[in-house]
Structure 1
Amino acid sequence: MTVKHLLLEYNKLNEQGTFTSGDILSGRVIVVTSKETKVQRFSVKAKGKAEVTWTDQNGQTTVVHRDKKKYFYFEHIILQDKNKGDGSEIIGPGRNVYPFTFVIPNVDMPSCYEGKWGKITYSLRAQLTQSIWLVHKTKTEFPFLTKSEFPFASKSEIIIIGLKEQQYATSILFLGSGKVTMNVMSEKMGLKQGEAMGVSVEVLNNSARTVTPKFYLCEKQTFVAQSKRIIHTNDILFGTGHSVSAETSRTITSVLSIPPQLPPTFFNCSMMKLEYRLKVILDVPLARDPEIKLPLVILSGSPKPHQQKPEIHVV
């Protein structure tokens, strides 16, 4: 084992270390050897891809649904045996550094993402082959952000127009002792990662029961492979508002903070997409809880400070 270490490094372009379409991706492969080493092939590759996999059980048969899409693939050959297998290319003893440079294609590609049954990855791989039995490999992934400002609106400008508009919805529940009306209003539809938004819930409780609003962030992941589709949903509890007693009315105003690490909404991948909703449930004892869902688009970027002073704060 004359090859002691095989390392792969890339140069960051910004403080976040992220890359996007059209950027130059450069770095170096470092090989540390104990003595002069012959190699058959030595290369570094850059790859961007999306892949989806899930299984269905059909009786005794397991059906695998799988698909993948390659966004780009580049290879830079550092050393290659000129005589087809005699190991004539030489790496000197000690620390050897080999630079590389790739240009990421300037086309629309989705950001890195990992969901329930699929992921989008961008990676660098180095491989040093001494013989058919002795191959050294190393890999590192680099964070990629889409260049598209609105990766969720490729087919509809209505979504873009509505990002800053207030959202309204009403739900009415009829009980034996009366009815309960819930009106929900959110400040806007589009929010940046880590941003806070005010949500008002007006409850007109003309019944004999005490009701309580609860706030949820609904995540919907959709995966497509070979014309088949599967959906994974997840509800994140934001918090619980003040209860509204029987035969009373009340408006509860809450501030809901989007987790900063939450992946942004995206539609610009043919095999998967990520959507969100704001869900408000009215907890009614011994009855089916009414709920309201409002559209919510999570945008990439740093949030601005929230100005509204709420009655309660829900974290």
Structure 2
Amino acid sequence: MTIKTFSIEYDAINSKNTFTNGDVINGRIIVEASKTTVISSLVFKAQGRAWVSWSEHYGPHHDQTYWQKEKYYDVKHHMLRETRRDGTGVIGKGRHVFPFSFTIPDRKIPSSFKSFMGEIFHKLKAELKRSMKLTKKAKVRFMFVSKPDMDILGLMEPQYGCKTKSVLFGSGNVSMDVHTTRMAYKQGNNLVDVINRSSRSVKPKFVLYEKKSFFAQGRRRVYNNDILKENTDECSGKKTVTKVIRLPGDLPPSILNCSIIKLEYRLKIYLDVKCASDPEVILPIVVLPTSEVPAMKQPPASDGIGHEAFGSPSQTQWSMTPQHQAAFQPMDPPPPYGAHAMYPPAFDSEKNQTAL
């Protein structure tokens, strides 16, 4: 085997091994040859993609598959600096390191996401081509977490909801008002105030659930999944109950800037009323990436809050220029990246999605 090793790796910039808009990813393509080898091309690629796909059954002999793809960036750069007249290059026996530097676009791009029905992925690829040989390929995915979009209407404003329910076997109504300090939270505490405005005793209950939506060819699939449930003690008439709900520390941030995949969160508050259907209030919750949440705006708004209308991200064209390119020596050392961790491919499986 002439090419003994062909791989791509990158350096982490933080303890969580995550990247965000505008970050620079430094890494290297490694080629180890058992003898002097002629190379047609050595290409570095960076890609951001999303896809969804599912099938629906319309009878015993008819299945319909719906699918959709979306592209956020696609960079291709030739790494060979010294070539011969025919455009090919030659590397000698031994290990060769080709450093690269890639800047993630500083614009609205959705965070990494993976589900059985679709995913959003960001990856680095390398391809080595030789005449009359199969193309060598290497790839590695990196975890991208988008910067918070603070332009969403009502994001930092208080929320309010109310519900009144008639009691079937009794007299009067059961009424509650629900208040939250804002729509957006990071992994931390949510304060919820529930006011029982009726004369009856009630028991408020809380459910935080995620809502995953997938869109393709004019169709939509939605899946809801409960994340946590909380109960409170019975609340007597005209009393206010304050509940602190802690968001899980590993809860993925909301995805609202992708046209084919959305990850949203809802907080449902309902009353456990005997001999009557339970009144409930549902409020949207936006989970921000781990960062400092800005101070709440003053004066606060009262209601009319929502975040359903989000278009697809901008498709502005851009390019990447590497800081370093490797010459053809038996050993070309990488630049001084420091003591960062190196990451080989962490996500190798792309089942049935090789065409993305």
TM-score class, shorter-chain normalisation, is 0.7 to 0.9
Q: Could you tell me how far 1:48 is from its partner in structure 2? A: 0.9
Residue number in structure 2 paired with 1:119: 119
Residue number in structure 1 paired with 2:73: 72
Q: Is 1:214 paired with 2:214?
A: no
Amino acid at match of 1:221: K
Q: Could you tell me how far 1:28 is from its partner in structure 2? A: 0.6
Alpha-carbon distance in structure 1 between the residues aligned to 2:9 and 2:220 = 38
Residue number in structure 2 paired with 1:172: 165
Alpha-carbon distance in structure 1 between the residues aligned to 2:193 and 2:261 = 32
Q: Could you tell me how far 1:126 is from its partner in structure 2? A: 1.4
TM-score (ref. length: structure 1)? 0.78
Q: Could you tell me how far 1:266 is from its partner in structure 2? A: 3.3
Alpha-carbon distance in structure 2 between the residues aligned to 1:58 and 1:277 = 32
TM alignment of 1:1-315, pairs within 5 A: 1-59=1-59, 60-79=61-80, 83=86, 89-115=89-115, 117-130=117-130, 134-147=134-147, 149-150=149-150, 153=152, 157=153, 159-160=154-155, 163-179=156-172, 181-203=174-196, 212-243=203-234, 251-284=240-273, 287-302=276-291
TM-score (ref. length: structure 2)? 0.70
CA contact (8 A) 1:114 1:120 kept: yes
Q: Could you tell me how far 1:198 is from its partner in structure 2? A: 2.0
Alpha-carbon distance in structure 1 between the residues aligned to 2:85 and 2:169 = 87
Q: Deviations for 1:143-165, whole angstroms, at most 9, x for unmatched residues?
A: 223345337x2xxx3x23xx232
Alpha-carbon distance in structure 2 between the residues aligned to 1:91 and 1:184 = 72
Q: Could you tell me how far 1:230 is from its partner in structure 2? A: 2.1
Q: 1:181 to 1:30 in 2, by over 3 A?
A: same
Extract unaligned runs of 5+ from structure 1: 305-315
Q: Deviations for 1:199-255, whole angstroms, at most 9, x for unmatched residues?
A: 233446766xx853321113222222222222222222332222458xx67543321
CA contact (8 A) 1:112 1:120 kept: yes
Residue number in structure 2 paired with 1:311: none
Q: 1:82 to 1:169 in 2, by over 3 A?
A: farther
Alpha-carbon distance in structure 2 between the residues aligned to 1:283 and 1:7 = 58
Q: Could you tell me how far 1:125 is from its partner in structure 2? A: 0.9
Amino acid at match of 1:229: R
Residue number in structure 1 paired with 2:335: none
Alpha-carbon distance in structure 2 between the residues aligned to 1:240 and 1:4 = 60
CA contact (8 A) 1:173 1:290 kept: no
Alpha-carbon distance in structure 1 between the residues aligned to 2:182 and 2:264 = 12
Q: 1:133 to 1:242 in 2, by over 3 A?
A: farther
Q: Could you tell me how far 1:46 is from its partner in structure 2? A: 0.4
- How many equivalent residue pairs? 290
Alpha-carbon distance in structure 1 between the residues aligned to 2:31 and 2:255 = 39
Q: 1:83 to 1:259 in 2, by over 3 A?
A: same
Alpha-carbon distance in structure 2 between the residues aligned to 1:170 and 1:261 = 32
Alpha-carbon distance in structure 1 between the residues aligned to 2:116 and 2:231 = 28
Alpha-carbon distance in structure 2 between the residues aligned to 1:30 and 1:284 = 66
Residue number in structure 2 paired with 1:313: none
Q: Deviations for 1:93-134, whole angstroms, at most 9, x for unmatched residues?
A: 332101123333343222222345222211101122346553
CA contact (8 A) 1:192 1:302 kept: no
Identity across aligned pairs (percent)? 36
Q: 1:204 to 1:148 in 2, by over 3 A?
A: closer
Q: 1:147 to 1:253 in 2, by over 3 A?
A: closer
* SS of aligned partner of 1:49: strand
Q: CA RMSD in A?
A: 3.0
Alpha-carbon distance in structure 2 between the residues aligned to 1:52 and 1:4 = 36
CA contact (8 A) 2:203 2:273 kept: yes
Q: Which moved more, 1:97-106 or 1:295-304?
A: 295-304
Identify, as 1 or 2, the structure richer in strand: 1
Extract unaligned runs of 5+ from structure 2: 294-356
Q: Could you tell me how far 1:6 is from its partner in structure 2? A: 2.2
Q: 1:297 to 1:68 in 2, by over 3 A?
A: same
Q: Could you tell me how far 1:54 is from its partner in structure 2? A: 1.6
* SS of aligned partner of 2:18: coil
Alpha-carbon distance in structure 1 between the residues aligned to 2:111 and 2:125 = 19
Alpha-carbon distance in structure 1 between the residues aligned to 2:104 and 2:19 = 9
Amino acid at match of 1:289: D
Amino acid at match of 1:172: K
Q: Which moved more, 1:34-43 or 1:274-283?
A: 34-43
